[in-house]
Amino acid sequence: MSMSDPKKLVRVQVTDVPDGYELTIEADDGHVFRVIATARQVEALARQFTTVAEDEEQAGG
């Protein structure tokens, strides 16, 4: 499957659902993408975001 060009993030909403969390992601072109993630997957995403933020801080940004 080919990947589309990246879009700018406008909004992310996280909602509790029976199997974990529903992530609703909206792009600047109006497209909305919804996914279900387990608690483990959300924790892994949080770790990745933390690493990116820490790397940015260390780089002076």
Q: Indicate whether 47 belongs to any domain.
A: yes
The total number of structural domains in the chain stands at 1
Tokens 């029976």 — which residue?
Answer: 18
Which range marks the domain in which residue 44 is found? 9-58
Per-residue confidence at 61, pLDDT binned at 50, 70, 90?
low
Q: Count CB-CB contacts under 10 A for residue 17.
A: 10
Mean pLDDT of 41-58: 92
Q: Indicate whether 4 belongs to any domain.
A: no
For the stretch 32-45, pLDDT in tens is: 999 999 999 999 99
Contact call for residues 24 and 15 (beta carbons, < 8 A):
yes
At a CB cut-off of 8 Å and minimum separation 6, what does 31 contact? 7
Is the pLDDT score of 13 beyond 70? yes
Q: Indicate whether 36 belongs to any domain.
A: yes
pTM comes to: 0.77
Backbone angles phi, psi at 50, to 5 degrees: -65, -45
